[in-house]
């Protein structure tokens, strides 16, 4: 008999999409729970009735436990774990609904944690207050290239970490993964300050949020390690999705290329580390569930997720203030959205 009853909020359409049309993350979460003997999918909710029904049919969920209103599901179905795979602006309010309406042990939400800094802090604090394990699906931490890279770093293969670098198409919707990995490679230590610049000459949204066309930022963690990111039109300037520069070498990660992981030790050429991407989402869900039976903080905890999230908002805030921003942030909004709505960022 399964130990944990699981519900999914935001089933989405059936698989077959891509980054432009949707990645069917509800199904990917569902698949990850289904392989665990300790878990059983018993409820689902989606604002589109057909989506919820198809999801229920796929995973053998009873028709009576299929909803268009997630609050009704939380009230009616006895759940232990809920996964949230809805558009970004809905993450925070749904997490609060889960905390207040259900009797849950764990909430596992898609990234980013929230579309406003104040909401990100609020839901983290509220879940901690209620003793609910809140985790964010920064699943790249469980990809084989990252696991192998961390092992190399911990073994001192590149010496002491001095700088982490990253690139992606944007800072917040996709690039939050790279910012999260920068934090991971430096020991999940908060940043002390950040200085950033962005270009927003064309309006673009992904997954419900505004994204910049280009960004460049420098920051420093409290342990002295520097961070650098270039996004959008300038992402090729970095040359890898993530790079770790140490006193005795460097490591590069480019997850979906022919060389997902390589290392260059001082005085030697590049060495490719043979590894596959793996199934990090499945491994991440298994880790989240396993942490319920221990006192161990999940690698995907909301506390850890806040570090990279604060950097993203901090970069936007640096643009608003036109200077370096000392952390922690003392704002509640999303500075990019505020600047767009106030006209401070003029579209060309």
User: Domain ranges in the chain?
Assistant: 4-139+283-292, 141-278+306-342
Please give the Cα distance from 106 to 169 (Å, whole number).
31
Give me the sign of the Cα torsion angle 194, 175, 329, 141: negative
pLDDT of residue 19: 47
Topology agreement, domain 4-139+283-292 and domain 141-278+306-342: no
For 4-139+283-292, CATH gives: 3.40.50.720
pLDDT of residue 20: 47
φ, ψ of residue 248 in degrees (nearest 5): -125, 25
Whether the predicted pLDDT of 114 surpasses 50: yes
pTM exceeding 0.85? yes
Whether the predicted pLDDT of 206 surpasses 70: yes
pLDDT level of residue 14 (50, 70, 90 thresholds): confident
Give me the sign of the Cα torsion angle 277, 181, 260, 246: negative
pLDDT cut 70: percent of the chain above it: 97
Whether the predicted pLDDT of 22 surpasses 60: no
Please give the Cα distance from 326 to 344 (Å, whole number).
22
Q: Which CATH number fits domain 141-278+306-342: 2.60.120.680, 2.60.40.3080, 3.30.70.1150, 3.30.360.10?
A: 3.30.360.10
pLDDT of residue 1: 57
pLDDT of residue 102: 81
Please give the Cα distance from 158 to 164 (Å, whole number).
12
Q: Across all residues in the chain, what is the average pLDDT?
A: 95
The verdict on whether omega for the bond into residue 316 sits within 30 degrees of 0, i.e. cis, is no
């Amino acid at each position: 008999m399964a130990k944990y009853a699981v519900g999914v909020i935001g089933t989405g359409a059936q698989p077959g999409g891509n980054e432009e049309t949707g990645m069917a993350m509800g199904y990917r979460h569902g698949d990850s729970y289904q392989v665990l003997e300790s878990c059983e999918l018993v409820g689902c909710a989606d604002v589109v009735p057909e989506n919820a029904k198809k999801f229920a049919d796929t995973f053998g969920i009873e028709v009576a436990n299929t909803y268009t209103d997630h609050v009704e599901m939380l009230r009616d179905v006895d759940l232990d774990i809920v996964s949230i795979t809805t558009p970004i602006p809905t993450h925070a309010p749904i997490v609060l609904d889960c905390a207040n309406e259900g009797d849950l042990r764990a909430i596992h939400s898609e990234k980013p944690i929230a579309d406003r800094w104040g909401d990100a802090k609020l839901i983290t604090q509220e879940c901690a207050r209620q003793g609910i394990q809140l985790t964010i699906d920064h699943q790249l931490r469980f990809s084989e290239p990252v696991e192998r890279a961390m092992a190399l770093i911990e073994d001192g293969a590149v010496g002491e970490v001095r700088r982490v670098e990253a690139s992606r198409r944007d800072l917040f919707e996709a690039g939050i993964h790279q910012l999260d990995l920068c934090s991971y490679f430096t020991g999940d230590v908060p940043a002390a300050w950040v200085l950033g610049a962005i270009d927003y000459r064309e309006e673009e949204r992904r997954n419900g949020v505004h994204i910049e066309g280009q960004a460049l930022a420098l920051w420093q963690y409290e342990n002295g390690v520097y961070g650098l990111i270039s996004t959008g039109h300038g992402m090729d300037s970095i040359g890898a999705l993530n790079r770790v520069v140490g006193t005795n070498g460097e490591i590069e990660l480019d997850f979906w290329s022919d060389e997902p992981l390589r290392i260059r030790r001082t005085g030697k050429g590049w060495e490719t580390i043979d590894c596959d991407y793996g199934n990090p989402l499945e491994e991440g869900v298994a880790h989240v569930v396993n942490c319920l039976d221990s006192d161990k903080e999940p690698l995907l905890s909301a506390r850890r997720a806040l570090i990279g999230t604060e950097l993203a908002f901090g970069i936007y805030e640096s643009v608003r203030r036109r200077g370096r921003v000392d952390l922690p942030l003392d704002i509640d909004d999303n500075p990019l959205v505020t600047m767009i709505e106030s006209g401070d960022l003029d579209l060309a």
